[in-house]
Amino acid sequence: MEKRTIFVSILRGDFMTIIPFSKYFIHIIWAFVLAFLVIFISMRIETTLAKEEEGKKRLQDMEIYHAQKTVELVSLGRMTTVQKMLEEKGSKVTIPEKPAIKIK
């Protein structure tokens, strides 16, 4: 076939009628399957990356929350702070005068 004939038949839309279609049918189907797979895999990758970014943001928020709670816990770990809080609440509990003993 001439190049001009092929070009004209592509423009007119009857290219499939002048080539032996049965000879290339499997190749055409395979090309469409591959194109579909590439698009499908790309979409799955984008979805996974979006979930990963969301997870990173959530993890960062949880790290900030953990740091805040750690600071609060450290400040409550001081005996004077605990004693002051107990006095503010009106509790009669005080700091022990001697260490606790283990009963056997």
Q: Tell me: the pLDDT tens digits for 74-95?
A: 766 677 777 888 888 888 877 7
Q: Tell me: the pLDDT tens digits for 44-80?
A: 999 999 999 999 999 999 999 999 888 877 766 677 7
Per the CB < 8 A criterion, the answer to whether 95 and 78 are in contact is no
- CA-CA distance, 24 to 44, in Å (whole number)? 31
- CA-CA distance, 104 to 52, in Å (whole number)? 53
Distances (CA, A) of 23 to 1, 16, 67: 16, 11, 68
pTM of the model: 0.47
